[in-house]
Structure 1
Amino acid sequence: MARAISPVLGVVLLAACAVLLSATVGAMALAYEPAEPASTVLVIGAVDAGDNEVTLTLDRGGPLDVRRLTLVVEIDGEPLEKQPTVPAYSQSGFTGFPSGPFNAGTDPEWNRGESASLTVAKTTNSPQPDPGSRVEIRIFEDDLPIATVETTAS
């Protein structure tokens, strides 16, 4: 009689293990939350053709570490001869010091609502923004595109 109980007991224990394992997997699956999607970065730009000043405002997303950013500026489809480096104190092709987080002397964290600007040199960089020029600034983080700003110089 004892031999007849052993297979039944084995089947019951095996079924209990299967139920316990499936309950554990099910609980883990129900508790799983996918990682938050990367926040979309939205940057608003303005270009003052009279002063050659390009101003960018982080409107959505961030904060961004400007030390990881690269900017590519085009005016009417033509890239600037000398592209900006951020953060910087001063650089060839640009006049004065960049403002906000683009200035190497400030906090490199670019937060939502914060503006940063730089001024294209009138004599050592081209093309120049004229009123009505279409200006496009592409922003890359670690060589991956994160935002494109299109604006018209005023």
Structure 2
Amino acid sequence: MARAISPVIGVVLLVACVVLLSATVGAMVLGYEPTQPAAAVAIDGEATADGEITLTLDHGDSLDVRDLSLVVEVDGEPLEKQPTVPAYSQSGFSGFPAGPFNAGTDSEWTRGESASLTIASTTNGPLPEAGSTVTVRVSENGIVIATVEMTVR
């Protein structure tokens, strides 16, 4: 009689394992929330030969600058020291950033508002020259939301 009960116990244990595994996988799938990128934004930019980079939020929802990061390249070569935003003053950049890039102002970057920073000619490079291309990638929480390409005037 013990032999007849063994297959039944095995089947019950196997069904219990499958149910437990299914419940675990289901809980993981239902709890997953993919990172949502920001709504489409359009950012316009201008760069000068003295190292000033000005970005203007032209289209899209307001952005919280505290969630942003910037990567600046001159003719495809990244700056030695990349900017952090918002900031007061930082190594590799001259003076204080303007607009929402300045930590002393409102961190909300609204449509039509400009923000700027200036590359320090003595402590950062490569430096932009007339005719060179400056590219700024703007990321929000690690996701690139805009790439701005400017020809230095």
TM interval, shorter chain, is 0.7 to 0.9
Which residue is equivalent to 2:126? 127
Shift of 1:39: 2.6
Structure 2 residues not aligned, in runs of 5+: 1-36
Paired with 1:90 and 1:43, the residues of 2 have a C-alpha distance of 23
Paired with 2:86 and 2:45, the residues of 1 have a C-alpha distance of 18
Is 1:114 the counterpart of 2:113? The answer is yes
Paired with 2:141 and 2:38, the residues of 1 have a C-alpha distance of 15
Which residue is equivalent to 2:15? none
Q: Secondary structure at the match of 1:67?
A: helix
Paired with 2:58 and 2:68, the residues of 1 have a C-alpha distance of 16
Residues 97-140 of structure 1, C-alpha deviations (whole Å, 9 max, x = no match): 00000000000000000000000000000000000011110000
Paired with 1:122 and 1:38, the residues of 2 have a C-alpha distance of 34
Residues 16-46 of structure 1, C-alpha deviations (whole Å, 9 max, x = no match): xxxxxxxxxxxxxxxxxxxxx9531100000
Residue identity matched to 2:123: T
Structure 1 residues not aligned, in runs of 5+: 1-36
Paired with 1:38 and 1:88, the residues of 2 have a C-alpha distance of 22
Within a 5 Å distance, the mapping from 1:10-25 to structure 2 comes to none
Given the superposition, is the C-alpha separation of residues 67 and 138 from structure 1 closer, same or farther in structure 2, using an over 3 Å criterion?
Answer: same
Paired with 1:69 and 1:132, the residues of 2 have a C-alpha distance of 28
Residue-pair matches, total? 117
Residue identity matched to 1:78: E
Q: Runs ≥4 in structure 1, deviation > 4 angstroms?
A: none
Which residue is equivalent to 2:22? none
Q: TM-score with structure 1 length normalisation?
A: 0.74
Shift of 1:73: 0.3
Which residue is equivalent to 1:57? 56
